[in-house]
Structure 1
Amino acid sequence: MAENVTTTPLDNADGDAVSGVEIQLNEVTKRYSGQREPAVDSFTMTVPAGNIVVFVGPSGCGKTTTMRMINRLIEPTSGKITIGGEDALSLDPDQLRRRVGYAIQQAGLFPHFTVTQNIAVVPGLLGWDKKKISDRVEEMMDLVGLDPSVFRDRFPRQLSGGQQQRVGVARALAADPPVLLMDEPFGAVDPITRGNLQDELLRLQEELHKTIVFVTHDFDEAVKLGDRIAVLGNQSKILQYDTPDAILANPADDTVAGFVGAGASLKQLTLLRVHEVEMTQAVTAKTSESVEEMRKRIDARGGRPFGLVLDERGRPLRWVHKRDLASGRRLSEAGRPVGDLVSKQSTLQDALEAMLTEGGGVAVTGGRGEYAGVLEMETVMNKIRELREEHGDGADE
């Protein structure tokens, strides 16, 4: 069902970083005593190394049970599971779980541990020395966009929901496992934070190339994140297992079509990333510069009388109109704060939603939050027209 891939050992003798490995599930079944029907019935799938594979299906269909059998949080009744060619059912369960990252909804952080202590849990269990653990914690916090100097000693109750989820992902990746299991990890946060966390995961995956099995009930999330999607029915029956664009274009049956829903052209926006379309460049200045300098740059550019104020790390901070640039004001106080942002990894669907909130173009950021450009409403609307013409559904929205 999946293309041939080269697999590597689950870890290596030197403890060096490893990339994702292939997962194979063969005739995996889970039966609970007292129930006539199995919760999962003869589930067979290959998860290619370095891919994000998303399990999507209705509540109670068995998708979480199936995922949890991979790291044996739930023991299979029968069948075979291999990770990187190694029989997962022959390993000590605790050792297996230390080698497979696991991130869940609401992060699941230890409430009486600091951020540092939470991230350090698995490296500590693996016997890493203190300096290696400290270095790794700092590296992981930076990787997920949390400033160690600000957050390392905070407790979970002192973090927002989105920050807690970032710590949860950092903890899951701290020991550099080749496989990451994610059980609806972003389901308990607000839509804007959820979109940002999805973007962050895609950015991390671009750097790390892990094998990720991701469970969700949200088909739009599956389309955005998945290299492949497995649409599951009752007992984890695989209704369709394919790339997002193939499922959108050719749903296997009426049940899958129900997940896809109407409006294929707009759903195609979820397959397109911001970095794939043309961005414009705003007039910019950093907070340390003067309002006079910003005014000169806007005048020199001509056209729209707007500019974007950046902080000293180059991150978007405030939108300013020329009329906001009165002498004697500081740029850090001029104009209005930037609201919604999107990253280069964001989908055009995310960008469209941000534009509707912002009331126009939206600022785009790079991997570390630095300013990358501005995406205009006209660009996205032109892309929607192209997609409608391509799919012949101009009247379905």
Structure 2
Amino acid sequence: MTDSETRTAPAVSGVEIVLDAVTKRYPGQHDPAVDAVSMTIPAGEIVVLVGPSGCGKTTTMRMINRLIEPTSGTVTIDGRDAAGIDADQLRRGIGYSIQQAGLFPHMTVAKNIATVPGLIGWDRARIAARTDEMLELVGLDPGIYRRRYPRQLSGGQQQRVGVARALAADPPILLMDEPFGAVDPITRGLLQDELLRLQAELGKTIVFVTHDFNEAVKLGDRIAVLGDHSRILQYDRPAAILADPADDTVAGFAGSDAALKQLTLTRIREVPLGECATVSADASVEVARTVAAEWSRVLVLDTGGRPLRWIAGADLAHADSLHEARSAPVETLSAESTLQEALAALLGDRNATAVVTGSHGEYTGLVTIDTLVGHLAALRTANGSGEGTAADVPA
């Protein structure tokens, strides 16, 4: 069973997209850029187009909102032929997020987000309320960020604003063209988690382009592995592709560590978590010593239950307050992080332990090496008994 099947299903607000023999030919070129692509993108799912650079995946995606007009074939959106819809109207009903956010540099964050709602005639009060709602949705404080300009934001913040802008008019479809490709790996993982959290709430139809197969496995309800001219080599659930690649080319994308990539199919929130001793930052050192009596260290939490730092029991012995006690930083993971990301974090921690946080950054438990070993053992047992194998994933 894939993660997309075990997560709580959101109320679907997306619509079905059908590509039927969609082809794009450019004058003067013998071969088509996209050759007769046919696929159905179910409503409310994330479908990832993955393939090598130049294979035509971005061209394929842009033909959905007619930024590139198909030479032949049809794109049907919610039962309507996209060619029969006014192009501007079509695009205003489809969110679009690209690499490096594509924000207008001369506009504030608020005005960037308000672009499409303004074009379709929303009044100022509604736009202002929606702008703040979108900023909160992507984890940015409206009071801090609405008046800033793109140059005053980090790369990750710009991408969050780009997603907020794409969602501002509540479109049923979101097209994302390598939106996280220009940020560092840590920020990229956080943005991926944020997208999954948003999708769990919103249920949009998302078409996501990437050349990173790991990203495709993490995000996709389904993955379309594309070859030259966007020819579909395999279109299936991530677990099915990892377990049974259609050919050597697909197997090359999956990689020799395909078994390890199975860890990408499970979120931390799906496995049992461990516990540790915790104490509030405003607690007395005496209370902390009592709590730490049966533990080697304690986790200090702020008033909102968010982890601040570790303090070893030995360092509490002679401290007059928690503030004075020597402490160590906390390695945290989102509940939406995958077990593969957890493994990478654990290998970098001297205690092979990471703190798991919820949607508001609050402490929810610990993930350890034993957590991963237990999960892999359960998978081996299930596969050995013929139950729950990747090949059994229903369409």
What TM-score results when the alignment is normalised by the length of structure 1? Answer: 0.89
Distance in 2 (CA, whole Å) between partners of 1:286 and 1:334 is: 16
1:149-193 C-alpha deviation (Å, 9 max, x unpaired): 222222111111111111111111111111000101111111111
Superposed displacement of residue 385, structure 1: 4.7
Output the amino acid matched with 1:72. R
> Is 1:70 aligned with 2:61?
no
SS at structure 1 position matched to 2:63: helix
8 Å contact from structure 2 (residues 12, 203) kept in 1: no
Distance in 2 (CA, whole Å) between partners of 1:228 and 1:243 is: 4
Residue of structure 2 in register with 1:362 after alignment: 354
> Of 199, 213, 233, which residue of structure 2 is paired with 1:219?
213
Residue of structure 2 in register with 1:158 after alignment: 152
> Is 1:19 aligned with 2:13?
yes
8 Å contact from structure 1 (residues 55, 213) kept in 2: yes
SS at structure 1 position matched to 2:265: coil
SS at structure 2 position matched to 1:70: coil
Residue of structure 1 in register with 2:43 after alignment: 49
Output the amino acid matched with 1:353. A
Superposed displacement of residue 205, structure 1: 0.7
The answer to which of 114-123 and 34-43 deviates more is: 114-123
> Of 367, 370, 383, which residue of structure 2 is paired with 1:375?
367
5+ unaligned residues in a row in structure 2: which ranges? 1-10, 385-395
Output the amino acid matched with 1:120. A
Superposed displacement of residue 334, structure 1: 5.0
Q: Give the total of aligned pairs.
A: 372
Q: Map residues 340-359 of structure 1 onto 2, 5 A cutoff.
A: 341-359=332-350
1:344-384 C-alpha deviation (Å, 9 max, x unpaired): 11110011111122332111111222221111122113334
Identity of aligned residues (%): 65
Distance in 2 (CA, whole Å) between partners of 1:286 and 1:237 is: 56
1:243-296 C-alpha deviation (Å, 9 max, x unpaired): 001111111111111111113321100111111111012222333333333322
Residue of structure 1 in register with 2:6 after alignment: none
Superposed displacement of residue 307, structure 1: 1.7
Output the amino acid matched with 1:298. A
Superposed displacement of residue 318, structure 1: 1.4
> Is 1:111 aligned with 2:102?
no
> Is 1:170 aligned with 2:164?
yes
Superposed displacement of residue 241, structure 1: 0.3
Output the amino acid matched with 1:350. E
Output the amino acid matched with 1:159. L
Distance 1:160 1:265, change over 3 A: same
Residue of structure 2 in register with 1:311 after alignment: 302
Q: Map residues 74-113 of structure 1 onto 2, 5 A cutoff.
A: 74-113=68-107
> Of 184, 188, 192, which residue of structure 2 is paired with 1:194?
188
5+ unaligned residues in a row in structure 1: which ranges? 1-16, 393-397
Distance 1:289 1:157, change over 3 A: farther
Distance in 2 (CA, whole Å) between partners of 1:155 and 1:309 is: 36
Structure with higher RCO (Cα < 8 A, 6+ apart): 2
| CA RMSD across the alignment | 1.9
Distance in 1 (CA, whole Å) between partners of 2:325 and 2:113 is: 37
1:317-352 C-alpha deviation (Å, 9 max, x unpaired): 21221233354334497512324x211111100111
8 Å contact from structure 1 (residues 316, 370) kept in 2: yes
Output the amino acid matched with 2:154. S
Distance in 2 (CA, whole Å) between partners of 1:321 and 1:174 is: 46
Superposed displacement of residue 83, structure 1: 1.2
Output the amino acid matched with 2:230. S
Superposed displacement of residue 18, structure 1: 7.2
8 Å contact from structure 1 (residues 82, 88) kept in 2: yes
Residue of structure 2 in register with 1:262 after alignment: 256
SS at structure 2 position matched to 1:367: coil
Distance in 1 (CA, whole Å) between partners of 2:304 and 2:153 is: 23
Distance in 1 (CA, whole Å) between partners of 2:283 and 2:298 is: 13
Residue of structure 1 in register with 2:389 after alignment: none
